[in-house]
Amino acid sequence: MLFQQFLNGLTLGSIYALIALGYTMVYGVLEFINFAHGEIYMIGAYLAIIALGLLSQWGLNTLTLAPLIVILFAMIYAAAFGATIEKIAYKPLRNAPRLSPLISALGVSIFLQNFVMLTQGARDKVFHRDLLFSQKFTQGGISLLSCRLSYIQLLIISTALVLMLGLTLFVNRTRLGKAMRAVAQDQKMAKLCGIDVDFIIRLTFIIGSALAAAAGVLVALYYGLVNFYIGYVAGLKAFIAAVVGGIGSVPGAMLGGLLLGMAESFGAGYLSAQYKDVYAFVILIIVLLVRPQGILGKKADRS
């Protein structure tokens, strides 16, 4: 039972970690919270349903690469959403008081929720994963220490791990990643060094949105149901994960997401499933009291 909750928490935490990465990347570069990020995650889940519908219509859903096509479709379109939102809603307010982009982000969040509700309907949408995978895969699994790790869970964990590892290598090993870190440290100095700051900021939104969309695809695959409201709760929890891990820290966002997933899984399994959304806030309060900058965060230099 204990190990089973650990596996469930690892699955859920992997999804939270992918969403939290978008929050922490944007904050690291611009030092403001993109509260519309949860809606990009929600849009990613709907894009997965659209992609699966198109593949099924064309008879391509049985291809071996069909799952990869679905996730790439969602990530590419969500990245376009992220770039558009940054250009329209955030870039004009880059030098405005900090409250202005925050209000703009809330407005974008409300707009995207209603946009999806009006275009896709208010009822739950079903992600027919049986059209994408064989019944043996969707219902099968691996036995580990008298517990069961389903193939779907294994796919979610491995996909999230690959994406997080890819992001880490990108940030630490590539020229664009170094430019991103330079912009996060000092925009003016980065511009003097010849870095296109506007492009790097937009790239940050693109990458964060793509990762959130991937999380949306994974959660649609895991639960099989999607609605226009899932972005609010998941986005709020992912924001808490980013704060717990250390806002602005990429490893911190990953760690915070995993901790939140574990807390929710163990809390629901051993305490009460009715309060599973409360455990995230309990962890947030404890971390803020003990280590306000987050587990892997650094104290801000106010001198």
pTM of the model: 0.93
Residue 257 falls within a domain, yes or no?
A: no
CB 226 within 8 A of CB 124: yes
- In the chain, the number of structural domains is 1
Q: Which ranges of 98-186 would DSSP assign to H, the alpha helix?
A: 99-120, 135-139, 151-173, 175-185
Q: 95 pLDDT band (50/70/90 cuts)?
A: confident
Q: Which of 18, 22, 20 has its CA nearest to residue 207?
A: 22
Determine the Cα angle at 275 with ends 160 and 281, to 5°.
65
User: What pLDDT, in 10s, does the model give residues 185-209?
Assistant: 899 999 999 999 999 999 999 999 9
Residue 282 falls within a domain, yes or no?
A: no
Q: 303 pLDDT band (50/70/90 cuts)?
A: very low
Model pLDDT, residue 136: 87
23 compared with 277, residue with greater pLDDT:
23
Residue 98 falls within a domain, yes or no?
A: yes
Which helix (H) or strand (E) element contains residue 82? helix 66-85
**What does the mean pLDDT of the chain come to?**
91
Give me the domain span that covers residue 219. Answer: 13-232
Q: Which of 38-52, 270-284, 288-302 is the most confident on average?
A: 38-52
Residue 241 falls within a domain, yes or no?
A: no
Least confident of 135-149, 202-216, 226-240, 255-269: 135-149
Model pLDDT, residue 145: 77
Residue 288 falls within a domain, yes or no?
A: no
User: What pLDDT, in 10s, does the model give residues 134-188?
Assistant: 888 888 999 877 788 999 999 999 999 999 999 999 999 999 999 999 999 899 9
Q: 273 pLDDT band (50/70/90 cuts)?
A: confident
Residue 209 falls within a domain, yes or no?
A: yes
Residue 90 falls within a domain, yes or no?
A: yes
